[in-house]
Amino acid sequence: MIDVAQRAGAKVEKIDRPWGQVFSADEIAAAVKKFKPKVIGIVHAETSTGAWQPMEDLGEIAQDNGALLLMDCVTSWPACR
């Protein structure tokens, strides 16, 4: 996702968690307030560790900050149907 955004000319700010861990909504909200992104891109689920990012508050965080929420759901889509 980062590679594609950078190739399209976007300035990318990245936040990280240790492998297999997810972000809290508060961590994401703090990063959004700090970086003021136009798009919030996040991976919903990670195949090798089974980590699933809770998404409940992210739509509201994006909307409250005028950002588009872009979720990579390639791994999680079959389970969410």
- Over residues 6-39, the pLDDT tens digits come to 999 999 999 999 989 999 999 999 999 999 999 9
Do 61 and 28 form a contact (C-beta atoms < 8 A)?
yes
Task: State how far Cα 44 lies from the chain centre.
Answer: 7
What the block records as the tokens of 58 is 């992210």
Do 43 and 13 form a contact (C-beta atoms < 8 A)?
no
For residues 69 and 60, what is the distance between their CA atoms, to the nearest angstrom?
9
Between strands 68-72 and 39-43, the pairing is parallel
pTM metric for this prediction: 0.85
